[in-house]
Amino acid sequence: MSNDTNLNFIHRFIPSSNNPEKEYPTLLLLHGTGGSEDDLIQIGKMISPHSSLLSPRGKVLEHGMPRFFRRLAEGVFDIKDLKFRTQELAKFVHDASSKYSFDLNKTVAIGFSNGANIAASLLLLNPETINGAILFRAMKPFNPDNLPDLSNKQVLLSAGLIDPIVSKSQIEGLFNLLQKSGADVTMKWQQSGHNINNKDISDAKEWLSKKVH
């Protein structure tokens, strides 16, 4: 476990357990509202058992619950804060890549809910930070002024058919935005609400093994 204040986020970093003949992506794990740096560690290990894991804790508190950026209401984001926090997170990932010696070009974000939304924002504002993303229960964070060039990015969107928080139109809005930006986007619909289930994990594991390895 690491908690290096120089990196400006409470976080965990777990080095790769890979064999030297095969290089695995580093996974940037981004928790949902009320989560912590521990929340997605097990899911990260299930999706890619040999990958390095970098898991920061969100710095914004909502009624004591950590988040990665402020919101004004359910599904209504504080866009100014979101953009500021996205830049802050991008700097953290860049600094961590130097400290822990991992390659940003082989880094994949795995985000859930609030974490998935800031991962989508990273793609839109700081695409050089990650090579791709697995987004569980994400929605479009904002409409960018200019479309980024995501022609070398790969994204998996895993959405719940009975999600009470993220509507079908919200996830399809993100899908269309990423596609217009040139990303290779895969959509998976799950028989699920606003939670990660076993099918999410198996789909993500299969996608990652084909797209990124």
Our answer to whether residue 194 is catalytic in this structure is yes
Check the CA dihedral 12-132-59-44 and report its sign: negative
CB 147 within 8 A of CB 181: yes
Catalytic one of 16, 113, 121, 158: 113
Catalytic one of 163, 181, 200, 203: 163
Rounded-to-integer distance, Cα 151 and Cα 137, Å: 23
Our answer to whether residue 97 is catalytic in this structure is no
Our answer to whether residue 4 is catalytic in this structure is no
Dihedrals φ, ψ of 90, to 5°? -60, -45
Longest CA span, the chain: 48
CB 14 within 8 A of CB 52: yes
CB 100 within 8 A of CB 16: no
CB 75 within 8 A of CB 82: no
Catalytic one of 2, 36, 95, 194: 194
Rounded-to-integer distance, Cα 48 and Cα 209, Å: 8
Q: Is 190 left (phi over 0), alpha (psi -120 to 50) or beta?
A: beta
Give me the helices (H) in the chain, please. Answer: 41-47, 79-100, 114-125, 168-180, 198-211
Active site residues: 113, 163, 194
